[in-house]
Amino acid sequence: MAFVTVHGVRLEFQMIESAAGRPDTLVFLHEGLGSLALWRDFPAKVAATTGWRTFVYSRRGYGWSDPVVGPRSVRYMHDEAEAVLPDLLDRFGIDSPVLIGHSDGGSIALIHAGGTRRPVRGIVTMAAHVFVEDVTIRSIAEAKVTFETTKLGERLGRYHRDAAAAFWDWNDIWLHPDFRSWNIEACLPAIACPVLAMQGVEDEYGTGAQVEAIVAGVGSSARTLMLPACRHSPHRDQEAATTAAIAGFVAELERSEG
C-alpha cells in the first residue's frame, strides 16, 4: 500500500508500470462505494491486455485514504474532477491519460475532461450518471435499508478504513433533496476526446438514457455499448467483454494517432 498527499490529504494509490516502459497511462476512477481494493485485479488485467501503465487510487473517504471531514456538498464530484484529480495527475507526471471511470468515477471523468480543458486522450465510462433518475434514487434508498438491516457494513469493512462513514457520505448526499437537480450535461459539449459509454442493460442504478445523453452531449466522437446480462458493474458482471471493449478502444486511439 502506497500513499501520496494532495491538498493536505493522504490518498492510497497503486501504479502498475508498463512492461514495455511506455508512459501512456490509464487512470481508474472508482464508484461511489468503491476503492482501490474493490477494483480487485481488473486494472491489472486491463494493464496486461493493453500494455499501458495504469494508475489507481482511492478518493478521500474511501479505502485507506484519509476520511472526509464534514458532510459532502452537491458539488463533490466537481471538486474531485476540477481540483484533486488535476493535482494528482501533475504529481505523477501523467499527461493526456485515458480515464476509466465506474459510476461516480465515470461522472468525474466527464467533468474533468469537459470542465478543466486539460488534455485527455480518451474516456471510458461504466454506468456513469449525467443527471439524476428516479430509478437511481429508489436503488440508493434501498441500499440504505440494506445497510441498516444486513451485514453489508461488515463486508464493506474489508475495503474501507471506516465503512459506515464511506456509506453514509455517499448515501446521504445522493438522497439529499438538493441533489435532485444535479446535472453535468452542460460540460459534455466541451469534451474533445473519444468517449466509450458503457452500461449494463439491467443496471439497477440507471437507464440507457444516461449513455444516450452522453453521446448527444459529446457528439460524434462518443459511442455506446450496452452489455446484456449486466447490472451496475460491467467490470464484474461482464469482465471479459468489458476488458475487450476497453482494449479495443485503446487500440483505436493508438491507430488514430498514428
Which amino acid would we find at residue 3? F
Domain boundaries, the chain: 2-253
Phi, psi of 200 (to 5 degrees): -75, 140
pLDDT of the chain, 258 residues: tens digit per residue: 799 999 899 999 999 999 888 889 999 999 999 999 999 999 999 999 999 999 999 999 999 999 999 899 999 999 999 999 999 999 999 999 999 999 999 999 999 999 998 999 999 999 999 999 999 999 999 999 999 999 999 999 999 999 999 999 999 999 999 999 999 999 999 999 999 999 999 999 999 999 999 999 999 999 999 999 999 999 999 999 999 999 999 999 999 986
Give the E-state strand segments of the chain in sequence order.
2-6, 9-16, 25-29, 53-57, 98-102, 122-126, 195-200, 222-227
Which amino acid would we find at residue 82? E
Q: In 3-state terms, what secondary structure has residue 114?
A: helix
Measured CA distances, 201 to 88, 124, 197, 224 (Å):
33, 17, 13, 12
User: Would the pTM of this model clear 0.95, i.e. be above it?
Assistant: yes
| pLDDT tens digits along 145-174 | 999 999 999 999 999 999 999 999 999 999
| CATH code for the structural domain at 2-253 | 3.40.50.1820
The alpha carbon torsion through 80, 2, 50, 184 (nearest 10 deg) reads -10
